[in-house]
């Protein structure tokens, strides 16, 4: 019996030591600029805005704020968000839009009706309407991505809204826009054909069959007004056992391929956690990038199937136009990096993405806005991660949890920016407590031997910035190397972006 106990003890010690060694083994990243996935569409650096609580009224638009400009927009927020180079903004919803009458939000503000918003059980004052959303987009340099009311709305609502936005002049709605002070069209480039219409929480929920009947006709009318508008079908958002979300997407694609340019994916990945959003286990949350990969790859397969069946030559891509990494702490910034890494890894199919909400990319206080951890991560990607996504090889330590097996501690993407002659390497270290030593093998090309390393990290993975303190920030350093091999150690719970100039 004593011998048995000793065997058990040493076996336990061996397991603990082995687990530690696994976490500390040297990882390998192989990068070849000739192994290309596709060009990254800058539209993956988009955002989403919906008038929920203080998202719009307070954080973006607040005529009573000391930070307000002459139009009521928060100048401090506008100035800071412009640094992120956001390419498009999806508005005005969201669940809100499924009960929204867009004509309530135009014309003199003192004549706009206050309405009960059933989506969020609040009063919508309609002080922020179509003209104001379009103005906001112009202020931050973003394209307009309009989502129509596919719930309680009608075909006339959809076509009239687009006419108001994009038709130059000479019609009732285009001249109404001009009368209200906007002589030039808003040039809406993207139109979402409804929001989450499969969801029982949605006003005007529809079956897949009824949705397609509406969306096909709405898309047809919109195209007759402006044939250059890109149309986004409402993909599934109801994820539950039985994979009914797959059935919805399959049906919508079968019916709409050839008539649309994108299908939306909405995924709040914390739904996959054991225990849901209340689960704050760091290793569990750090695995959620794999859930994003899974949703993209499943939808991509359905697109391929529908394209083959339809024989259409009009490509359909994924618009991942609602996702959230959390609300601004260090761990949230790492999950944001994993989302963006997933979009880059799937650059051949994900051509647009919109983070929920645009206001989550900054911190807010009575004294003004400030850079939170999400700001720093998004800034590094949106300003630097441009070019061609590369098909890289990685090998290194991994772990398992209740959701996934073989979760690599390092989540890695690489990009070749040909115009600026550099390789950009993005690495998330998912390990909460241990740094990971890594060999980076540049398999082709000649390099200058110098690289710029940007690191986002904090002592505590739950650290959160305030207007007075910034425990989460970007630290920049230079790295020298010889030949085509870089040796680098990625700190625990960190995001690192390395810019490697090419000769």
Name every residue whose Cβ is closer than 8 Å to that of residue 230 and which is 6 or more positions away in sequence.
189, 190, 191, 261, 262
How far is 295 from 101, CA to CA, in rounded Å? Answer: 32
End-to-end CA distance of the chain: 67
Asked if 225 and 163 count as a contact pair (C-beta separation under 8 A), the reply is yes
Q: Where are the alpha helices (DSSP H) in 25-127?
A: 75-82
Nearest-angstrom CA–CA distance, 50 and 224? 28
- In the numeric block, which tokens belong to residue 362? 């900054």
Cα separation, 205 vs 150, whole angstroms: 9
Among 322, 434, 437, 459, the active-site one is 322
402 catalytically annotated: no
Helix (H, G, I), strand (E, B) or coil at 498: strand
User: Which residues, other chains included, contact 114 with Cβ-Cβ below 8 Å and sequence gap of 6+?
Assistant: 123, 124, 125, 126
SS3 389: strand
Q: How far is it, in rounded angstroms, from Cα 62 to Cα 75?
A: 10
| CA-closest candidate to residue 59, choices 136, 122, 119 | 136
196 labelled catalytic: yes
Residue with tokens 């008539």, as numbered in its chain = 259
**Nearest CA to 423 among 379, 392, 457?**
392
DSSP 257-302: TTT-SEEEEEE-GGGGSTTGGG---HHHHTTTHHHHHHHHHHHHHH
For residue 412, is the peptide bond before it cis, meaning its omega torsion is within 30 degrees of 0?
no
Lookup result for tokens 């340099």 = 141
Considering the candidates 163, 196, 250, 499, report the single residue annotated as catalytic. Answer: 196
Q: What is the CA radius of gyration of the chain?
A: 24
**Tokens 């009706």 identify what position?**
113
With 0-12 / 13-18 / 19 or more C-beta atoms within 10 angstroms meaning exposed / middle / buried, residue 199 is: middle
Catalytic residue numbers read 196, 322
């Amino acid at each position: 019996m004593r011998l048995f106990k000793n065997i058990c003890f040493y076996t336990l010690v061996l397991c603990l030591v082995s687990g530690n060694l696994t976490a500390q083994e040297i990882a390998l990243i192989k990068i070849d600029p000739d192994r290309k996935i596709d060009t990254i569409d800058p539209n993956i650096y988009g955002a989403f805005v919906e008038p929920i609580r203080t998202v719009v009224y307070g954080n973006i638009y607040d005529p009573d704020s000391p930070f307000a400009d002459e139009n009521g927009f928060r100048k401090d927020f506008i100035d800071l968000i412009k640094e992120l180079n956001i390419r498009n903004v999806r508005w005005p919803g969201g669940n809100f839009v499924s009960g929204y009458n867009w004509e309530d939000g135009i014309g003199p503000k003192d004549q706009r009706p206050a309405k009960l918003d059933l989506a969020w059980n609040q009063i919508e004052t309609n002080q922020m309407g179509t003209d104001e959303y379009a103005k906001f987009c112009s202020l931050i340099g973003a394209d307009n991505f309009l989502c129509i009311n596919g719930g309680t709305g009608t075909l006339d609502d959809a076509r009239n809204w687009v006419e108001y936005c994009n038709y130059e002049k000479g019609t009732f709605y285009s001249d109404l826009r001009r009368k209200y002070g906007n002589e030039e069209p808003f040039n809406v480039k993207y139109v979402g054909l409804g929001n989450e219409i499969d969801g029982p929480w949605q006003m005007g929920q529809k079956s897949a069959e009824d949705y397609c009947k509406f969306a096909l006709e709405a898309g047809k009318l919109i195209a007759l007004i402006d044939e250059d508008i890109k149309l986004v079908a409402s993909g599934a958002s109801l994820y539950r056992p039985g994979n009914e979300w797959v059935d919805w997407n399959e049906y919508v694609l079968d019916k709409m391929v050839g008539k649309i340019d994108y299908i939306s994916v909405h995924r709040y990945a914390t739904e996959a956690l054991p225990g849901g959003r209340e689960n704050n286990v760091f290793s569990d949350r750090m695995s959620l990038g794999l859930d994003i990969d899974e949703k993209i790859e499943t939808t991509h397969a359905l697109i391929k199937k529908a394209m083959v069946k339809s024989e259409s030559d009009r490509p359909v891509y994924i618009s991942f136009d609602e996702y959230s990494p959390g609300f601004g702490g260090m761990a949230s910034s790492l999950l944001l990096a994993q989302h963006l890494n997933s979009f880059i890894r799937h650059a051949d199919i994900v051509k647009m993405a919109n983070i929920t909400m645009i206001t989550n990319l900054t911190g807010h206080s009575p004294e003004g806005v400030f850079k939170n951890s999400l700001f720093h991560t998004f800034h590094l990607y949106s300003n630097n991660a441009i070019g061609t996504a590369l098909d890289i090889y990685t090998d290194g330590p991994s772990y398992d949890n209740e959701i996934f097996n073989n979760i690599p501690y390092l989540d890695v993407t690489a990009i070749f920016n040909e115009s600026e002659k550099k390789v950009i390497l993005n690495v998330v270290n998912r390990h909460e407590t241990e740094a990971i030593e890594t060999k980076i093998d540049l398999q082709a090309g000649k390099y200058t031997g110098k690289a710029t390393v940007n690191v986002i990290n904090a002592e505590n993975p739950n650290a959160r910035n305030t207007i007075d303190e910034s425990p989460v920030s970007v630290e920049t350093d230079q790295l020298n190397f010889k030949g085509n091999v870089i040796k680098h150690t990625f700190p625990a719970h960190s995001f690192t972006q390395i810019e490697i100039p090419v000769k």
